[in-house]
C-alpha cells in the first residue's frame, strides 16, 4: 500500500471530539490501515482571525485506495460531520486534507498533493514531525527543514 499523511482540523462544535471521531472514521476506511496519530495542537487561525482557535492533528495511513478514492472518502467523512462551507477560510466542523500521498506529486483541479499550504503551516508541519521525524516531500525537502523555516503560530500541544 501507499504511505499517506492526512491533516485534520476543526474549530466548531467541540473540535476535540470532532477530531477524535474523525480518527475513528479514518481507521475504518476500506483497504486502509491507521498506522499512527499525532498529538492534537491548538493554534490561532491562520488567515481570517475573526473565528475560534483551531485544533489540528495528523494521522499516518497505509492504503490501497487511489488518491481520488481517498479524497472522496475524506469528503464523505467531512459531510458526516455536517461540514457547511459558508465562507472560504471560514470556521468549519471538520477539515480533512491529503498532505502527502507516498512520493506522488498530483496537480489536478480536485487535488494538489503535497498540500500547497503545507510549508507555511506549523499546525501541519509539527504533527507530521511527531509521526515521522525523517519525513521528506517527494522532492527531497525534509519536513524538519520546513518546520524550522515556518512562521510560528503559537502552537499549543494538547494531548496525549
Ligand atoms: C482558515 C485556515 C486557512 N486557517 C487555519 N488556521 C489554523 N490554525 N488551523 C487550520 O486548520 C486552518 N485552516 C484553514 O483553512
Question: What is the three-state SS of 20-56?
Answer: HHHHHHHHCCCCEEEEEECCCEEECCCCCCCCCCEEE
pLDDT at 122 over 90: yes
List phi, psi (to 5°) of 42.
-95, 145
Per the structure block, which three cell numbers stand in for 78?
467531512
Cα(19) to ligand 1 centroid in Å equals 14
Residues with CB under 6 A from ligand 1: 9, 43, 45-47, 54, 56, 89, 95, 123
Q: Whose CA is nearest to atom 8 of ligand 1?
A: 45
The ipTM estimated for the assembled molecules is: 0.98
pTM passes above 0.90: yes
Amino acid at each position: 500500500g501507499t504511505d499517506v499523511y492526512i491533516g485534520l482540523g476543526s474549530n466548531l462544535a467541540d473540535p476535540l471530539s470532532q477530531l477524535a471521531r474523525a480518527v475513528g472514521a479514518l481507521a475504518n476506511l476500506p483497504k486502509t490501515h491507521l498506522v499512527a496519530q499525532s498529538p492534537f495542537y491548538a493554534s490561532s487561525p491562520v488567515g481570517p482571525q475573526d473565528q475560534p482557535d483551531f485544533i489540528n492533528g495528523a494521522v499516518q495511513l497505509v492504503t490501497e485506495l487511489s488518491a481520488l478514492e481517498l479524497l472522496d472518502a475524506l469528503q464523505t467523512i467531512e459531510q458526516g460531520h455536517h461540514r457547511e462551507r459558508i465562507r472560504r477560510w471560514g470556521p468549519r466542523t471538520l477539515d480533512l486534507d491529503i498532505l502527502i500521498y507516498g512520493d506522488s506529486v498530483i496537480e489536478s483541479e480536485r487535488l494538489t498533493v503535497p498540500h500547497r499550504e503545507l510549508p507555511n503551516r506549523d499546525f501541519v508541519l509539527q504533527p507530521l514531525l511527531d509521526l515521522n521525524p525523517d519525513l521528506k516531500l517527494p522532492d527531497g525537502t525534509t519536513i524538519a527543514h520546513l518546520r524550522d523555516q515556518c512562521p510560528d503560530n503559537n502552537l499549543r500541544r494538547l494531548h496525549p
